[in-house]
Structure formats: C-alpha cells, structure tokens
Chains A and B, each alone.
Chain A
Amino acid sequence: MNQTFDIRRSFDLLKLNLHLNRKSFFLTLLGFFGFVFITSFFVANNVPMLLNRMHTIFYFILLYGGAALMGGSAFRILNRPDKSIAYLSLPASTFEKYLIPWLFTGIVWAIVSMVSYMAFALMINGLWSGVMQFPFTAFNPFEICIGRSPVYEAYMPYFLVHSIFFLGAAAFRKNAIPKTLLTGFILQSGFTFLNLMMMLILFGNFTGMDQQMKLIEADQQNLAYFFREVLPQLIKYSFAYVIPVIFYVAAFFKLKEREA
C-alpha cells in the first residue's frame, strides 16, 4: 500500500471527516438560509426588482465567508490534545490528513455553496413571485457582473481567501480565524508602511509624486506600459494563482510538524 496516498484510505478518511463535521456543516447552512429566507421576504415585499441583487450579495457572503470559516476551522480537531491524539495517530498519511480537509473545505464547499444557493434562490424567487405576483427571474451565479469585470474575476480570489485561512488553521493551535485575521492585518500594515517608505526614498515626498510619475512615464514609454498594464495583471494573477499555492504548501508543512 502506498505510504503517501491510497485511494481507499483517503475515502475512509473522507467518510470519517464527513461524519465528524456533518452536524455543524448542515446547521451552518440551515441557519444561513433561514436568515436569507426572512430577508428575502422583506425585499420581495418592498422592492422585488432587487431580489437577485440581494442574492448576489448573500451568495458571495456564503461562498467567501464559508471558505474563510471552513478553511479556518479545517484543522480544529487538532486544537485539543485529546482530539489531536486521536487524529494524528490515525493510520493515514500526513498528505491524506491534509488533502481531505482541503477537499472538504475548499472544493466541496465551493460546489455545495453554489448548488445549494442556486437551488434555494430558485425556490424562494418562485415562491415570492407566485405569492406576491411579480415576474419570476432566476438567479444565475454564472452571470454575475461586478462593475465591468467578467464573471470569472468574481471567483478569482476564492482560493486566495481559502488558502489564507487554511494556512492559519494549520499554523495556529487555537482561535485560528481571529489570529489569521490579525496576522493578515499586521502583514498588510507592514506592507503599506514599506510602500510608503519606498515612495519617500524614490520621490522625496508624497505631494508631487503623481506629477513626477507622469514625467517618468512620458520619458519612458515602456516603463509606463509596465506600470499601467503589466504590473497590475502580474499582481492580480499572482495573488489569484501563485500565492494560494505557496500558502497551501506552507500549510502542509505546518501540519506535518504539528505535535499532540
């Protein structure tokens, strides 16, 4: 039997994880949909035109909020010594113990939240349009437009959000979600501070910075193209695809070094 990955062992671990988390999983979904149901009644009653806009907001709260919440509690079984002993001593590889929560909180969650929200939105739109006599329009999460951005861009940060909280769950022993948020805030502040320092070093002050940039750009067309076109895309795609991979790899090694 392969010591890193075995399909039967992984399936057994998936079954165990589903059984361990099913109650909290369904209760969270039920609570959320209950809240959406009540809100939708008031929206449908007052401004039915806004029903699908409300769905867009709630759908993204469910998808992204769920990814953060689920990812951040992916390894909560390791938070208590008695639970972590039971989990770490289970005869499965570290890779499988990593992969199953990743699948469950990252992929399965994305599918469940999409499908369940689509079905739920269909149901309540049908219900309220029938009861309150307004034309039925289906909510389609694949036709969402945020500004002028194409629909796939709305989903691009999904793995970034999930990977941040997943790494937090593997790295922090207790209160992983608040600690991840705090760490993110500290890192973000540090990064902003460094940027400001860099600006001061390059331009001397902040007041004439825009003017100076324009002068440089007028002089250096390639540089202008790089800063206006290439760099934003580079940052966007690295945040969407490269950084999540780095965070996922880091989460694996954090899990590997966890002790009971």
Chain B
Amino acid sequence: MLQIKNLDFSYRKGRKLFDSLELSLGKGSIYGLLGKNGAGKSTLLKVMTGLLYAQKGSVDLYGTPLGKRLPDTLKEIFFLPEEIYLPDFTTSEYIKLYSAFYDRFNPAQMQEMMREFEVDPSDRLKHMSYGQKKKFVIAFGLATNCSLILMDEPTNGLDIPSKSKFRKVVASMIDENRSIMISTHQVRDLENLIDPVIIIEQGKIIFRQPVDVIAEGLSFHQTGRDESAPAGLLYSEEMFGGSRVVTRNTSGEASQVDFELLFNAVLSNTRGINEHLKTVQS
C-alpha cells in the first residue's frame, strides 16, 4: 500500500534526519512506530502524508507519489497530528463540512464512536477540553474509512478510561482494507494493540517485527538483586530491588511482551536482538 524508498530528508543542510530510509506498509495492521524524542517519528508521518517533501527518494501510496498531494491520494490518508486544530464550529458543522471531502465517511460510525468516547454532540468544539477535542478528531479520522490512518501521540491528553476506550475503538475499526500507524513514546498505552512494532532511531528503521515473533523469540522478566544473570541474556536494566531483563525465549511458549523493556533493549542491543529474532523466524 505505502512504499518509502531510499528517503533522504533534512530540515537543515548537512544534517540528515533520514538517510536512505526504506519502509513499506501493507493493509490490515496497526503499526506501532516507536522512537526517542527527536528520532523523526512525527517528521516521518508528515512525509508519509505529503506534508513535507522528501529531498531524495520516493514516498508512494498505491504507486502515486504523495508529494503531488493529489485529492484521490489525500482521500486515502488521514493524519492526526499531536497538536490538533479545530475551528470554532459545532460538531455537526465540522462533520458536515469536512466529511464532504471523504467519499467513504460513515456518519453512523461517527455517532457510535462519539457515544463510545462520551463526546457531547451538542458542544461547540471551541468549548471542549483538549482530551474531548482529541477524541472527536480520532472518531472523525476513523469514520473517514481512509486506507491509512496516521496518528501522532494519540493518547496524549486522554484520561485513563479514554485510553482504554481508544484501544477498544481502534481495535474494532481495523480490517483488511485499512491500516493504522500509531506513533508514540507512551508504549504502555498501546500494549495489546500494536502489531507489528517499528522502532526508529537516528533516521533509520532499526527494528521491525510482528508481535508474535517477538513473543516467541524473547522473554521479558524481572530478577532479584542477588540472582545471577539468566541464560540467554540480551539486555538488562537496573530497577529498584533487582533488574528487568530480556532473554532468549527457550520455553517454547509465547511470552508476554513488555513494550517498554523491548524498546530499551532494542536501542541498546539492536544487532543482538535483531539477529536472534532472525534465527527465530527462520
């Protein structure tokens, strides 16, 4: 569906943010895009929407360059930025005026999601709290039924019940015709939702694996202070009263993936973890 080939991008001359970046996205998945602050997550999403132009390489959706910003291509992508803009409209005005641009917009789905998110349809958007605004735009984005929905830190500003509702709504909306990519640094908010996991660091995709491969290949646990290092250790980090460790999974059973620990492990031992998972896959 979406193909990024040999992408170079920089904000300033001589300081490349992306250097020959390659990425392809298919349909039917909720991609989790993880990375440290400044790793280029938001920039990558903007390039994928055609909001920023690549200096080199190509970004195509169904074979059409996104940089051309053609209406038929833009119709297939909905981008939810971290900082959202909503004009001084009522919810129904907004829905009426903006949905006209999306052929597959489903008003019934929109109403259902607004009910689920407890967004009052009679409110003016200007008078809503930040979290309410965000839930409204998430609902609108999902109701557009675009092929690709890109969300930048969607759970920022959501309260705890809303975060679980977000997971529920997003999981219910995914089907074989669309994909969602969620960029976040709050990995715990998206546990049991994202699959596969993509980690970006210094402008490169350093890790991309489906959750079942991670669960089959890696084991995540805690060890006590006096315990010796477990066998097959790939990563360990100190915590109060012991350590959190990532080891090779030799149990033959899928483990419970700790996304935060996985992220830290990949950043500090990229090669070791990637090589191990490659052997698991083969």
Contacts and interface: CB of A to CB of B under 8 A. Distances in A.
Interface of A: 1, 3, 6, 9, 12, 15-16, 19-20, 23, 80-86, 88-94, 96, 257, 259-260
A260 B51 contact: yes
A91 to B, nearest CB: 4
B69 A12 contact: no
A80 B84 CA distance: 11
Given A3-B70, A19-B93, A86 B101 contact: no
B193 interface: no
Contacts of A3: 70-72
A82 B84 contact: yes
Given A12-B100, A92-B101, 18 more contacts: A1-B71, A1-B72, A9-B71, A15-B100, A16-B97, A16-B98, A19-B89, A82-B83, A82-B84, A83-B85, A84-B51, A85-B49, A88-B69, A91-B71, A91-B102, A259-B46, A259-B53, A260-B46
Interface residues of B, number: 28
Contacts of A81: 81, 83
Quick one: which of A1, A23, A86, A89 has the most chain B CB within 10 A? A89
Quick one: which of A89, A91, A260 has the most chain B CB within 10 A? A91
A20 B87 contact: yes
Contact of B51 (A83, A89, A257): A89
Interface string B65-76: 000011110110
Contacts of B101: 9, 12, 90-92
Contacts of A260: 46, 51-52
A259 B49 CA distance: 11
Given A19-B89, A19-B93, A93 B81 contact: no
12 contacts: A3-B70, A6-B71, A80-B85, A82-B85, A85-B79, A85-B81, A86-B85, A89-B79, A90-B74, A92-B74, A94-B69, A259-B53
Interface in B25-57: 46, 49-53
A259 B98 CA distance: 21
Contacts of A257: 53
A104 B102 CA distance: 23
Contacts of A85: 46, 49, 51, 79, 81, 85
Contacts of A90: 74, 98, 101
